[in-house]
Amino acid sequence: MIYKDQLNREVVLSRIPTRIVSLVPSQTELLVDLGLSDCIVGVTKFCVHPATIRNEKVIVGGTKNINYDTIKKLNPDIILCNKEENTKEIVACLQKEYPVHVSDIFSLPEALDMIKQYGEIFDKQTEATVLITRIKSEKVSFDTFIDNKPQKRVAYFIWKKPWMVAGKDTFVDYILKMNGFVNVFGNKSRYPEITEKELILIKNVDLILLSSEPYPFSEKHLKELRNMTNAEVILVDGEYFSWYGSRLVNAFSYFKTLH
């Protein structure tokens, strides 16, 4: 069986995989929600959903640094990666010995396509279709909810020391736009660093969002930023802005609380 991943790479499989190593936290959660928990043999230390997964599976490292010997012992049928989460070196090394599927997601349609591909690869078409249908239904309801809502200019912070924000060409930026927000750093590429001087000089920002990941922003950071800007500053659940698997089912209900 030959499949194409989201980089248009061929993924050649001799049978339906039953030993999966997932190097992407959101995709690990997706596998579980597709009913594939028993097939997962290895995960990263950042795979935190479901909460028990790291105790039940072998941890093979992080998303950028993995233990190749540990993976070899697991003898996986397939390894799941993501272009942004994992490095080219990891993919290049692993694909010499194992089938490697790489996702590449910057929009909701691409996220739904990834779920569909997993349904085909792991013989979970029915489960994948149900999940996709639920997500689409939630999106339709959300679109109705935000229709005619006032547009807000926002900045989405992901890191401190240095300050870093989400710019264009990111899934976060897509989600911001889907919320009807205008990303004030949407003219900058990827995840640019922002100096405090730049932050102070930003004008007409209605809302600053401090993400719960990858940097663990907390109440003290709210106060710090409120002293630097007149904008409203709130903490947000970063998983709903950057996880593109089954977490999308509940993401739209969460987004409604921000409007």
What three-state secondary structure class fits 101? strand
**Distance in angstroms (rounded) separating the CA atoms of residues 146 and 143:** 5
pLDDT at 201: 65
- Quick check: 247 and 26 in contact, CB under 8 A? yes
List the chain pLDDT tens, one digit each, 259 residues.
999 999 999 999 999 999 999 999 999 999 999 999 999 999 999 999 999 999 999 999 999 999 999 999 999 999 999 999 999 999 999 999 999 999 999 999 999 999 999 999 999 999 999 999 999 999 999 999 999 899 999 999 999 999 999 999 999 999 999 999 999 999 999 999 988 777 766 767 899 999 999 999 999 899 888 887 888 999 999 999 999 999 999 999 999 999 9
pLDDT at 204: 76
**Dihedral angle sign, alpha carbons of residues 23, 25, 29, 30:** negative
Alpha helices in the chain (DSSP H): 25-33, 53-56, 68-74, 88-94, 108-121, 125-146, 171-178, 196-201, 219-226, 238-242, 248-256
**Distance in angstroms (rounded) separating the CA atoms of residues 183 and 170:** 11
